[in-house]
């Protein structure tokens, strides 16, 4: 069982074997102008993505839904979702960004006002600063607690889901609070809302998520089937991305500042943090020259791979020079820290302007 509210590190191969997630590599050639995250295998799996490929090719319309639970600060790992949304926006998708304040309230005890504030000052501010364009027509953001359509839909869908099913999917027990029990249904409704008549009717929909969210995806797909007669839902598709490793080699987590580079970090601190990150280098320079480093085990390399280098050739060169012992970790870190400084210099400036726009998006009038 995968518990979406705990923080276990997942074995990606196993997910593909056990849960019927398909490897993304088989589909990659069919995607026109795929984003870096797809090309580099960071998006490693999918369900029914063929439907989305077809909709993109035929320009027949599709939706992307990816929510955020406001519970803490955003770190650089979260940027992956934004990168995907920016790409989908270019592909002409209808984009839905639910802010899961109901989830945050029932699973984490975060008050609604706090969620709204976090959504503005953290999530939306970062989404805008990173380049997502909320001025476009086809992008919708809402707080779950303020979306009557989603709440009603969740209630309607709940008629065909029973307690045993929720227990076996999520491990809910007798001591689970009742609001928490209801939260997955709200998320299912988030994902199916774009297919309601008033939102343009049934359409292919993709949900880009981390593998921890897969239980929600499976439940959504099952429920979509159960309500096919009533709503003519097209079973939603999904993609799955790997998580970036934390600076210490453990999971990157907002609740452990030592593992994370936050998007609100100053360029200086970001630089300092990457300089202290765990590498795949050898104990001594001599060994490194002789045996080379292991980029696969290197957080610095991962930062370059996920976020800091666009050019495939440049990245390949770094990889090989690490492997064959030409580059030492010191110089590699200096190069990476320069790149991260530039990235954060730009981002921190853009964040200042972005916060105003973010506040307008969720303004009450």
Check binding of 260 to ligand TRP (CB under 6 A): no
**In angstroms, what is the minimal distance from the CB of 47 to ligand TRP?**
13
User: Using CA atoms, how far apart are residues 282 and 330, in angstroms rounded to an integer?
Assistant: 12
- 66 sits near ligand TRP (criterion: CB under 6 A): yes
Q: What's 144's DSSP letter?
A: G
Cβ 112 to ligand TRP shortest distance, Å: 15
Nearest-angstrom CA–CA distance, 189 and 220: 8
Q: Which of 56, 65, 153, 261 binds ligand TRP (CB under 6 A)?
A: 65
Residues 262, 74: contact at Cβ < 8 Å? Answer: yes
The H or E element spanning position 214 is helix 214-226
Beta bridge partners of 208: 239
Work out what residue 122 binds among ligand TRP, ligand SF4, none; the CB cut-off runs from 5 to 8 Å by kind: none
The least distance separating ligand SF4 from the CB of residue 304, rounded to whole angstroms, comes to 8
Q: Which residues contact 346 (CB under 8 A, 6 or more apart)?
A: none
Q: Where do contacts with ligand SF4 occur on this chain (CB under 6 A)?
A: 279-281, 293, 295, 298, 300-301, 322, 327, 329, 332-333
Q: Which does 295 bind (CB under 5 to 8 A by kind): ligand TRP, ligand SF4, none?
A: ligand SF4
Q: Which is nearer to ligand TRP, 188 or 300 (CB)?
A: 188
* 221 vs 161: CA distance, rounded Å: 12
Token output for 298? 């290197």
Q: Which is nearer to ligand SF4, 64 or 298 (CB)?
A: 298
Tokens (6 digits) for 212: 């921890």
The one of ligand SF4, ligand TRP, none whose footprint includes residue 281, by CB under 5 to 8 A per kind, is ligand SF4
239 is an interface residue for ligand TRP by CB under 6 A:
no
Shortest spacing between CB 107 and ligand TRP, in angstroms: 8
Distance between CA atoms of 130 and 346, rounded to whole angstroms?
A: 9
Distance of CA 98 to the CA centre of its chain: 13
């Amino acid at each position: 069982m995968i518990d979406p509210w705990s923080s276990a590190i997942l074995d990606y191969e196993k997910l593909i074997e056990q849960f019927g997630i398909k490897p993304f590599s088989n589909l990659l050639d069919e995607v026109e102008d795929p984003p870096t995250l797809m090309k580099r295998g960071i998006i490693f799996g999918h369900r029914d993505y063929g439907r989305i490929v077809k909709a993109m090719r035929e320009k027949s319309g599709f939706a992307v839904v990816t929510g955020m639970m406001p519970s803490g600060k955003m770190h650089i790992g979260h940027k992956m979702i934004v990168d995907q949304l920016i790409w989908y926006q270019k592909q002409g998708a209808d984009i839905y960004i639910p802010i899961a304040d109901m989830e945050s309230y029932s699973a984490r005890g975060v008050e609604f006002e706090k969620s709204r504030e976090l959504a503005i000052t953290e999530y939306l501010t970062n989404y805008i600063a990173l380049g997502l364009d909320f001025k476009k027509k086809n992008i919708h953001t809402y707080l779950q607690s303020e979306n009557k359509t989603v709440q009603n839909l969740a209630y309607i869908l709940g008629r065909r889901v029973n307690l045993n099913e929720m227990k076996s999917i999520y491990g809910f027990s007798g001591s689970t609070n009742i609001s928490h029990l209801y939260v997955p249904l709200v998320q299912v409704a988030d994902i199916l809302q774009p297919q309601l008549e008033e939102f343009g009717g049934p359409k292919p929909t993709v949900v880009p998520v981390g593998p921890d969210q897969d239980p929600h995806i499976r439940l959504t797909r099952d429920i979509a089937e159960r309500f096919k007669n009533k709503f003519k839902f097209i079973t939603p598709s999904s993609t799955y991305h790997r998580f970036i490793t934390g600076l210490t080699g453990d999971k990157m987590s907002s609740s452990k500042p030592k593992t994370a580079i936050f998007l609100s970090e100053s360029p200086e601190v970001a630089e300092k943090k990457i300089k202290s990150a765990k590498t795949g280098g050898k104990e001594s320079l001599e060994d490194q020259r002789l045996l080379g480093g292991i980029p696969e085990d290197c957080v610095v390399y991962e930062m370059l791979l996920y976020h800091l280098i666009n050019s495939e050739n440049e990245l390949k060169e770094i990889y090989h020079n690490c492997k064959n012992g030409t580059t030492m970790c010191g110089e590699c870190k200096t190069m990476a820290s320069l790149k991260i400084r530039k990235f954060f210099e730009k981002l921190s400036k853009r964040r200042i302007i972005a916060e105003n726009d973010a506040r307008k998006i969720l303004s009450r009038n």
